[in-house]
Structure 1
Amino acid sequence: MSGVAEVNTNYLAEMAESTVAVGYKQTEVGLIPEDWEVVPIGSLCTIFGRIGFRGYTKADIVEQDQGVLSISPSNILQGTLDFDHCTYISWSKYHESPEIQIFNGDVLLVKTGSTYGKVGLVSSLEREATLNPQVVVLKKVKCPSPLLSYVMQFELVQNQIEETIVGGAIPTLSQKAVANYLVPIPKKHDEQAAIANALSDVDALISVLEKLISKKQAIKTATMQQLLTGRTRLPQFSLREDGSKKGYEPSELGEIPEDWDAVKMEELAKIQRGASPRPIDNPIWFERNSTVGWLRISDVSKTNKYLTETTQSLSELGIANSRFVAKNNLVMSICATVGKPIITKKDLCIHDGFVVLNGLSVDQDYMYYILKELEDEWGKQGQTGSQMNLNTELINGTHVAIPQNAAEQTAIANILSDMDKEIQALKQRLNKTKSIKQGMMQELLTGRTRLI
């Protein structure tokens, strides 16, 4: 005898049950309220898809006014639908499969391809529609359709999707597997509706914020086009000393204000390309605790205007073999993510995928917005090799419009900076609201928080 008693399994089961909170029960999907039930998705709806003879070919694709909308994975966002880019198929293919004709209240699920698992609730469809073969539809829904949509988006179902996905290059879900996913749900319709309504209210706020951000960004874009070309003048700079209105004059950029100049960028700064130590993967170039960052394209891609952190830092040897850029300098990417400017807020080094504008003779923020205005154009002009890139000759020879009065440069930059701050604040609020929604789903869809 070892002196260690064997624990009775019945005793362990009783102990586990005794830890369950009053009013809750342990189930195969976790702890849920006693008056909820665990059911397969297939008991809440019927799942249909376009398979076999009901698929379609390029010959079935028609112009918008000659057929019906075919909803594809690209039209399905997380929880909603977007119809900016659509495919249309013939009426004959639409009538061939009545069970996959789409109506408001249906729930869509991407079953095939890289975006499998995306879910969309059909709620504002205004024309006839059917399915792409990569999508299935959940119809004849026996609970509020929004609730089923949220359940399908919930991590409990998404985890089951990951467990049942098959295929290598083309991941695929079977409709049978989807129908067998287990989910907890209230038995009372009133509670089902209350949960759906609470989450729908948060989604409505998210939608309002997204539309507001889009509107503010469009206004900013239009404002940049007007102010950075001088087509619209700020009142305090629009008049001559005698009170008459300032005019325009021809330039390499077309007509610009009479007190502005069309200047090549090489006249405004010394534009220098970065340099990389070789071979770049040698650990001797890097030091985790160094205060000098190593700027990567990925760092710039996720940065708005000011760069405060880098993923990697360089050793003294790495710094000596790179191009050092002190903080508060203007840097622009010239490969991969072409033409994106940032203002550095830490000391760092740049490789040859960037240029730095040293000794800038105009307002830095004004120049930042000039570069932002050029970003799309430079993305089209970049030389293509293994990846898109710009050369310094092209940058140096580019003309830009510059107010002669430094105060006007600053005033224009301040207006655009204020607009950026407003947009950024809205984005932060949007992200916070999305986080709140995720927390609400965790609480409401498991019954941890009860609304009724």
Structure 2
Amino acid sequence: MKPGYKQTEIGKIPEEWEMVRLGEVVNYSKGRKPNIILEKHEKSFEPYLTAESMRTGVFNLWCEIDEDVIKVKSNDIIFIWDGSFSGDVFTGFCGVLASTMVKIDPRQNNLDKKYLFYFLKTKFKLFNSTTTGTSIPHISKSIFTSLKLPLPPLPEQQRIAEVLSTVDSAIKKTAEIITKTQALKKGLMQQLLTRGIGHTKFKQTEIGKIPEEWEVVRLGSVAKKFISGGTPSTSKPEYWNGKIPWMRSAHIKGRFVDWGEKYISEEGFKNSATNLVPGKNILVATRVCIGRVAINKIDIAISQDLTGVVVDKDKVNFEYLYWTLLYFENTMKSWTQGSTIKGVLRNDLQNLKLPLPPLPEQQKIAEILSAVDEKIEAGRKKKEKLEQLKKGLMQDLLTGRVRVKYEA
């Protein structure tokens, strides 16, 4: 065993750490439904906190304070006790607890709230998978109270919490930048795809006002052809795990597709309705996830959920066409037909009317929007890395596997 560590029920921990049961060191108070709940804010009313509101950050319920309710401050720990989110834990909210949650308070001064919060965060799967009750799941009281909590000296708890809070702040700041950049992209799409760059004269058309120099065209007039898809039989293993990339509409996650969701064999390709869409063209979801659009960087076979649009590059810049189709996503969704499987008819897609600037302006518009999109993507990647860093730090710091320096 590594020097300075001892063996416990949950594994090796530092010798100076204690091992306690959660029920020995915390009290919890269950929320109660207030007498009056409103959907608009009134003077002296407080936010009514629900699991959904804390997950989304959208608060649309307000309640009158009475002596029976449980109020929480921003540094309090809120733990979901009932429902499908049982076991989730929050902090940083002020308001009145719903009846499905509890406020958790340390009983003694040797337990830091933030340290406890991060420890409970690591136990969501345990709590959520061991609920009791049939119609509405509830946290198992016995599992909650008997849970073993490794307890470092208070200064070390505080330092661990400080490190994790720093990473959390970086994640929050990155998420805010992503949200602001997404709003910028939405505004730029509206501006650039209807007013263009530097125009002063506009004309009224069937799709609204556009610059005088622009045309209104049907999608079919700027496409060389439309390609349908299909799925090789899943009951024939020889049709799968080949070298031909293949995808469904659910595989569209962003602007580009550069790898296959699955790979099919030559035999699977020949014996199904799937077709290959040449690279640097457009994929449109016309059956499932209707309205999703992507540029395929590679030659790719498609399922029946997708339509491949082979672009006439003498008439339209394929990246500009991507942004324009994305702008008309809701229009495509409004065309859905069918009862069991909804879809967009090929004829409707071909007749979709689009604004068409001259090619040089198309390229400039595409470059501007793509640059903003790349900034969003860079932010997402940074956020993912920070979340992975936090996950690793929680595993290491909350078990004592990695120690932090602190002043005793």
Q: TM-score, normalised by structure 2?
A: 0.89
Corresponding residue to 1:171 among 111, 118, 137: 137
Match of 2:24 in 1: 43
Match of 1:343 in 2: 295
Match of 1:65 in 2: 41
Provide the secondary structure at the position in 1 that maps to 2:284.
Answer: strand
- Asked if 1:116 is matched to 2:101, the reply is no
Unaligned runs of 5+ in 1: 1-19, 239-245
Query: For the Cα contact (< 8 Å) 2:242–2:266, is it kept in 1?
Result: no
Corresponding residue to 1:363 among 310, 314, 317: 317
Q: TM-score, normalised by structure 1?
A: 0.81
Corresponding residue to 1:97 among 39, 62, 68: 68
The verdict on how the C-alpha distance between 1:398 and 1:314 changes in structure 2, with shifts beyond 3 A counting, is: same
Query: For the Cα contact (< 8 Å) 1:271–1:355, is it kept in 2?
Result: no
Match of 2:361 in 1: 408
- 1:187-206 equivalences under 5 Å are 188-206=153-171
Query: For the Cα contact (< 8 Å) 1:284–1:318, is it kept in 2?
Result: no
The verdict on how the C-alpha distance between 1:357 and 1:162 changes in structure 2, with shifts beyond 3 A counting, is: same
Query: For the Cα contact (< 8 Å) 1:76–1:119, is it kept in 2?
Result: no
Provide the secondary structure at the position in 2 that maps to 1:289.
Answer: strand
Q: How much has 1:270 moved relative to structure 2?
A: 4.8
Q: How much has 1:213 moved relative to structure 2?
A: 0.7
The verdict on how the C-alpha distance between 1:284 and 1:194 changes in structure 2, with shifts beyond 3 A counting, is: closer
**Superposed CA RMSD:** 2.3
The verdict on how the C-alpha distance between 1:164 and 1:392 changes in structure 2, with shifts beyond 3 A counting, is: same
- Asked if 1:74 is matched to 2:48, the reply is no
- Asked if 1:151 is matched to 2:119, the reply is yes
- Asked if 1:433 is matched to 2:404, the reply is no
Deviations 1:84-109 (A, max 9, x none): 143334x2xx42524x2222221112
Measure, in 1, the Cα distance between the counterparts of 2:183 and 2:224: 32
Deviations 1:160-197 (A, max 9, x none): 425632345543213443122111011x2211111111
The verdict on how the C-alpha distance between 1:85 and 1:317 changes in structure 2, with shifts beyond 3 A counting, is: farther
The verdict on how the C-alpha distance between 1:376 and 1:30 changes in structure 2, with shifts beyond 3 A counting, is: farther
Measure, in 2, the Cα distance between the counterparts of 1:75 and 1:350: 39
- Asked if 1:315 is matched to 2:265, the reply is yes
Between the two proteins, what is the percent identity of the paired residues?
Answer: 26
Provide the secondary structure at the position in 1 that maps to 2:66.
Answer: helix
The verdict on how the C-alpha distance between 1:226 and 1:167 changes in structure 2, with shifts beyond 3 A counting, is: same
Match of 2:7 in 1: 26
- Asked if 1:445 is matched to 2:395, the reply is no
Amino acid at match of 1:95: D
Amino acid at match of 1:69: P
Deviations 1:390-441 (A, max 9, x none): 22232222211110x2111111101111111111111111111111111111
Q: How much has 1:159 moved relative to structure 2?
A: 5.0
Unaligned runs of 5+ in 2: none
Measure, in 2, the Cα distance between the counterparts of 1:353 and 1:48: 50
Tell me which structure has the larger Cα radius of gyration. 1
Query: For the Cα contact (< 8 Å) 1:273–1:392, is it kept in 2?
Result: no
Provide the secondary structure at the position in 1 that maps to 2:205.
Answer: coil
Q: How much has 1:356 moved relative to structure 2?
A: 1.2
Between Structure 1 and Structure 2, the one with more helix by share is: 1
Measure, in 2, the Cα distance between the counterparts of 1:399 and 1:369: 14
Measure, in 2, the Cα distance between the counterparts of 1:159 and 1:254: 51
The verdict on how the C-alpha distance between 1:162 and 1:277 changes in structure 2, with shifts beyond 3 A counting, is: closer
Match of 1:134 in 2: 100
Query: For the Cα contact (< 8 Å) 1:296–1:310, is it kept in 2?
Result: no
Measure, in 2, the Cα distance between the counterparts of 1:389 and 1:135: 42
Query: For the Cα contact (< 8 Å) 2:197–2:361, is it kept in 1?
Result: no
Match of 1:3 in 2: none
Q: How much has 1:277 moved relative to structure 2?
A: 5.1
Measure, in 2, the Cα distance between the counterparts of 1:309 and 1:46: 52
The verdict on how the C-alpha distance between 1:281 and 1:169 changes in structure 2, with shifts beyond 3 A counting, is: farther
Amino acid at match of 1:68: E
Provide the secondary structure at the position in 2 that maps to 1:43.
Answer: helix
Measure, in 1, the Cα distance between the counterparts of 2:37 and 2:267: 60
- 1:152-301 equivalences under 5 Å are 152-154=120-122, 157-162=123-128, 164-168=130-134, 170-186=136-152, 188-230=153-195, 232-234=196-198, 238=199, 246-270=200-224, 272=226, 274-276=228-230, 280-283=233-236, 286-290=239-243, 292-300=244-252
Amino acid at match of 1:198: V
Provide the secondary structure at the position in 1 that maps to 2:354.
Answer: strand
The verdict on how the C-alpha distance between 1:170 and 1:384 changes in structure 2, with shifts beyond 3 A counting, is: farther
Measure, in 1, the Cα distance between the counterparts of 2:303 and 2:392: 41
Amino acid at match of 2:23: G
Q: How much has 1:111 moved relative to structure 2?
A: 2.4
Measure, in 1, the Cα distance between the counterparts of 2:124 and 2:208: 55
Query: For the Cα contact (< 8 Å) 1:273–1:352, is it kept in 2?
Result: no
